[in-house]
Amino acid sequence: MKLHSFFRSSAAYRVRIALAVKGLAYETVAHHLRKEEQRRPEYRALNPQALVPTLEDGGHVLTQSLAIIEYLEEAYPETPRLLPADPAGRAVVRAMSQAIACDIHPLNNLRVLAYMKSAMGQSQEATDVWYRHWIGEGFAALEELAKRNSRGSSHCFGDAVTMADACLVPQMYNARRFQTDLAPYPTLVAISDSLERLPPFAAASPEGQPDAE
Amino acid sequence: MKLHSFFRSSAAYRVRIALAVKGLAYETVAHHLRKEEQRRPEYRALNPQALVPTLEDGGHVLTQSLAIIEYLEEAYPETPRLLPADPAGRAVVRAMSQAIACDIHPLNNLRVLAYMKSAMGQSQEATDVWYRHWIGEGFAALEELAKRNSRGSSHCFGDAVTMADACLVPQMYNARRFQTDLAPYPTLVAISDSLERLPPFAAASPEGQPDAE
């Protein structure tokens, strides 16, 4: 497998965690987002959205981090599962994942921040406030969901690693990078701190990537 | 089943389409987003994100539109399927759905537009341009993906209705409401026009809802 990635992309980081938890080997193809390498025609042919990650698995070209994780779950059923067995539990894990992947992260993407600076004349400070605002909105809801579903464990849901954990840790990394006040989210911080110490999460961290700066 | 909805919410519209395609009956509980009814404590207890939709099914409380659709797919396997059978095909349908549900719609949400007007002093015109910009970015990629995957049919993927179709039609409705230039996306327009005429899509339309204005 080939993973088109950027060390700091939190969507790519989610997939790296999933691959590591499942013990699936892959080669990294790095695309430097600040240098807009993901906009090259060769990459756009693979992924018309010109976003990372993209996973190549044999002849299949997979895009969108959560779709890739669901694919790994279905195509490699013998590997550790990232979704619980029952439909209602799976729905909660997916909803927690999407609360990050739909309602926090896309608002804080590099292309969005760039648009607000160039087309809307916003300062670095204003976009930093925006960045933290959407983390705050999302984390406030996730804190409540984690309290309900982690049942005192060190995971977002139940007592095993799920797709929601693969979404939380990269979002927490971004929150810290932008100096977000994390005091209101003790459950999320405790879960993330514990997860970050697990070997698959450590292996997937931005600093551990071949293209890390 | 009870669907917490708002007639114009495109995330709720997706779930209404899925329920109609599957022939599952439900009661609508309307929350007027412009009046911030979704922020009431009773609703927030159900859905800590204070967003629509939420689906109540027996004792289960489901949130996030795509998670709800996946739940319906798993909990009611005897109903028409919205995902193909093979993992690679499912991954493409999910990726197309997420290209809308993650990378277009959250950027154009009411709460986001409100933030840009209040905290960033942006005009209605500037937020309209922003709105259309993200539809354009997303639709350009989706046009290419639809060309590759619809294979000349009237659906986003293959020759049956999928979750991607349930995402496309509400997004097209929003694009038209904001006078987006649709000339560059003939494949998407043709697919959406054809889908909109199908009875389940017509039944799910904003105008057909009990809370329509």
A52/A12 Cα distance (integer angstroms): 6
- Residues in B closer than 8 angstroms to A83, CB to CB, are none
ipTM over 0.85: yes
* Distance (Å) from the alpha carbon of A101 to chain B's nearest alpha carbon: 7
Contact A62, A68 (CB under 8 A): yes
Interface test with B, best of A57, A61, A79, A103 (most B CBs within 10 A): A103
B135 touches chain A (CB under 8 A): no
The pLDDT, as a whole number, for residue A42 is 96
- Residues in A closer than 8 angstroms to B99, CB to CB, are 49, 63-64
B178 touches chain A (CB under 8 A): no
Are residues A99 and B64, on separate chains, in Cβ contact within 8 Å? yes
Residue B130 confidence class, pLDDT cut points 50, 70, 90: very high
The pLDDT, as a whole number, for residue A27 is 98
Nearest residue of chain A to residue B104 (CA atoms): A106
B180-204 pLDDT, tens digit per residue, is 999 999 999 999 999 999 999 999 9
A120 touches chain B (CB under 8 A): yes
Are residues B91 and A71, on separate chains, in Cβ contact within 8 Å? yes
Return the closest-CA partner of residue A64 out of A73, A55, A72: A55
The pLDDT, as a whole number, for residue A123 is 97
- Residues in B closer than 8 angstroms to A92, CB to CB, are 67
Contact A33, A7 (CB under 8 A): no
The pLDDT, as a whole number, for residue B16 is 98
Contact B147, B81 (CB under 8 A): no
Contact B168, B191 (CB under 8 A): yes
Return the closest-CA partner of residue A137 out of B51, B31, B46, B64: B51
The pLDDT, as a whole number, for residue A18 is 98
Residue B38 confidence class, pLDDT cut points 50, 70, 90: very high
Q: Is the peptide bond before B53 cis (omega within 30 degrees of 0)?
A: yes
What angle in degrees, to the nearest 10, is found between the helix axes of A65-75 and B87-101? 160
Are residues A102 and B99, on separate chains, in Cβ contact within 8 Å? no
A194/B43 Cα distance (integer angstroms): 32
- Residues in A closer than 8 angstroms to B62, CB to CB, are 88, 91, 95
- Going residue by residue through chain A (213 aa), what tens digit of pLDDT does each one get? 999 999 999 999 999 999 999 999 999 999 999 899 999 999 999 999 999 999 999 999 999 999 999 999 999 999 999 999 999 999 999 999 999 999 999 999 999 999 999 999 999 999 999 999 999 999 999 999 999 999 889 999 999 999 999 999 999 999 999 999 999 999 999 999 999 999 999 999 999 999 999
What separation in angstroms does the CA of A121 have from each of A114, A130, A178, A211?
10, 14, 20, 31
Q: Is the dihedral of CA A94, A100, A103, A105 positive or negative?
A: negative
The pLDDT, as a whole number, for residue B131 is 98
Nearest residue of chain A to residue B48 (CA atoms): A141
- Residues in A closer than 8 angstroms to B122, CB to CB, are 120
Are residues B94 and A66, on separate chains, in Cβ contact within 8 Å? yes
3-class SS of residue A168 = helix
Are residues B49 and A99, on separate chains, in Cβ contact within 8 Å? yes
A176 is written with which tokens? 């810290």
Residue B167 confidence class, pLDDT cut points 50, 70, 90: very high
Residue B103 exposed, middle or buried by CB count within 10 Å (0-12, 13-18, 19+): buried
Alpha helices in chain A (DSSP H): 10-22, 41-46, 65-75, 87-101, 110-118, 124-150, 163-177, 186-196, 199-204
Contact A162, A155 (CB under 8 A): yes
B10/B213 Cα distance (integer angstroms): 15
Are residues A90 and B74, on separate chains, in Cβ contact within 8 Å? yes
Interface test with B, best of A44, A51, A61, A64 (most B CBs within 10 A): A64
A95 touches chain B (CB under 8 A): yes
**CA contacts within 13 A on the Cβ side of B207:** 5
- The pTM score is 0.98
Enumerate the β-bridge partners of residue B3.
B28, B55
Cβ-nearest to A120 among B70, B91, B120: B120
Q: DSSP string of B126-172? A: HHHHHHHHHHHHHHHHHHHHHHHHHTTSSSSSTTS--HHHHHHHHHH
Q: Residue B154: count other Cβ atoms within 10 Å of its Cβ.
A: 16
Alpha helices in chain B (DSSP H): 10-22, 41-46, 65-75, 87-101, 110-118, 124-150, 163-177, 186-196, 199-204
Cβ-nearest to A107 among B60, B112, B126: B112
Nearest residue of chain A to residue B60 (CA atoms): A88
The mean of the pLDDT values for chain B is 97
